């Protein structure tokens, strides 16, 4: 999704509603390049959006101002190239995930999931769905694998935001209807899920499998999907075999170094750490006064209100693994 209009950078001491971690920059073009320009998207009280960079070495300090999740508003799609993020007019608590009931019903993006089954869509959403789409197979740090889709303009960014360890594109579809028919086919016939919980991804990053093993798992599952696609009667797509390039900023999280689960819940308290690596919304964090590294699922901040500041996370008593 294109970033909404933004003003200057975030201000210390101001309350912000967190909309999540987004990778909206240019794709990684070579193994050493940190593509995506990952950032924490924040909504200020005046309704503007600000981006807090999560580049390697960035400092993130905040206090959770309210443990209750708030509605993040809804999406209106005007065309394949333009959409608006409409803020919740009532500033209501979230009732359905990250939305109130009203915004959930007004959100045009939710109609995407039934379009290929004959569901109603708006003219703008139809224009978006009729552009080229890609079908991918993504494998995560623990070996779990899913099938998913991405529009042409966000072909790379979608997988960066997913936090994949390894991924391959397996089909290039003429539009969003065809690609979702293929996605459902792969789930039904090959048994690949379409969703993996963020908490499971974070837990797997505590002890990630070796890169070669993950790539082998991904190559095998992608091969199974391509073999399935060769037998289908669905038209409007071409099978492909193209590897996705993971951003360099994610490498440290997927490596074999020792790390620990971040010990503090992100729905309360004060937190502060340095971002050493990032994959999807999950950070490898360095806390003050310790050499130990911690896995922090920043996705847990979505729809929460925070106050930025010069805070520091308490250091837990941990015992580094001996090798």
User: Residues 50-98: pLDDT tens digits?
Assistant: 999 999 999 999 999 988 999 999 999 888 778 899 999 999 999 988 9
State whether residue 65 is helix, strand or coil: strand
Residue 36 scores a pLDDT above 90: no
Higher pLDDT, 113 or 105: 105
Beta-sheet pairing, 145-151 with 166-173: unpaired
Question: What percentage of the chain reaches a pLDDT higher than 90?
Answer: 76
Split at pLDDT 50, 70, 90, the class of 112 is confident
Share the mean pLDDT of the chain: 91
Residue 19 scores a pLDDT above 80: yes
Per-residue HEC secondary structure of 141-154 comes to CCCCEEEEEEEHHH
CB 146, CB 193: distance < 8 Å: yes
Residue 116 scores a pLDDT above 80: no
> pLDDT tens digit string along 143-175?
999 999 999 999 999 999 999 999 999 999 999
pLDDT of residue 321: 43
Predicted model pTM = 0.91
Split at pLDDT 50, 70, 90, the class of 6 is low
> pLDDT tens digit string along 222-234?
999 999 999 999 9
Q: Quick one: tokens of 263?
A: 């010990």
Split at pLDDT 50, 70, 90, the class of 177 is very high
> Cβ neighbours of residue 104 under 8 Å, at least 6 residues apart?
74, 95, 96, 110
> Cβ neighbours of residue 177 under 8 Å, at least 6 residues apart?
115, 116, 129, 130
Higher pLDDT, 221 or 257: 221
Residue 3 scores a pLDDT above 50: no
pLDDT of residue 323: 37
Q: Which residue's entry shows tokens 């099978």?
A: 239
Q: How far is CA 233 from CA 178, 181, 182, 237, 276, in A?
A: 12, 11, 11, 11, 47
d(CA 71, CA 76): 16
Listed in order, strand segments (DSSP E) in 99-165 are 133-139, 145-151
> pLDDT tens digit string along 274-312?
999 999 999 999 999 999 999 999 999 999 999 999 999
pLDDT of residue 318: 65
**What is the chain's percent helix, strand, coil content, to nearest 5?**
25, 30, 45
Split at pLDDT 50, 70, 90, the class of 118 is low
Altogether, the residues listed in the chain come to a count of: 323
Residue 203 scores a pLDDT above 50: yes
Across residues 121-145, what is the average pLDDT? 92
Across residues 45-54, what is the average pLDDT? 92
Across residues 199-226, what is the average pLDDT? 97
């Amino acid at each position: 999704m294109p970033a909404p209009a933004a003003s200057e950078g975030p201000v210390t001491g101001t309350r912000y509603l967190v909309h999540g971690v987004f990778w909206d920059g240019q794709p990684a073009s070579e193994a050493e390049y940190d593509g995506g320009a990952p950032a924490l998207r924040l909504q200020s009280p005046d309704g503007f959006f600000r981006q807090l960079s999560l580049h390697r070495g960035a400092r993130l300090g905040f206090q959770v101002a309210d443990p209750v999740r708030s509605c993040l508003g809804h999406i209106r799609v005007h065309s394949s190239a333009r959409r608006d993020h409409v803020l919740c007019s009532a500033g209501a608590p979230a009732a359905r995930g990250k939305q109130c009931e009203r915004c959930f019903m007004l959100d045009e993006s939710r109609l995407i999931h039934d379009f290929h089954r004959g569901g109603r869509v708006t003219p703008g959403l139809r224009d978006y769905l009729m552009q080229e789409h890609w079908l991918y197979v993504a494998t995560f740090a623990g070996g779990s694998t899913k099938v998913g889709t991405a529009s042409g303009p966000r072909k790379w960014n979608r997988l960066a935001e997913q936090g994949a360890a390894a991924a391959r594109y397996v089909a290039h579809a003429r539009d969003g209807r065809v690609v979702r028919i293929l996605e459902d086919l792969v789930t039904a016939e090959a048994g690949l899920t379409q969703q993996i919980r963020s908490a499971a991804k974070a837990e797997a990053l505590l002890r990630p499998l070796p890169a070669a093993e993950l790539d082998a798992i991904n190559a095998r599952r992608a091969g199974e999907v391509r073999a399935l696609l060769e037998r289908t009667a669905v038209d409007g797509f071409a099978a492909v075999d193209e590897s996705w390039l993971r951003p360099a900023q994610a490498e440290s999280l997927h490596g074999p170094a020792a790390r620990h689960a971040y010990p503090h819940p992100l729905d309360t308290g004060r937190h502060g750490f340095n971002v050493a690596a990032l994959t999807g919304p999950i950070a490898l964090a360095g806390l003050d006064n310790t050499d130990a590294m911690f896995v922090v699922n920043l996705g847990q901040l979505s729809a929460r209100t925070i106050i930025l500041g010069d805070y520091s996370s308490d250091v837990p008593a941990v015992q580094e693994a001996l090798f």
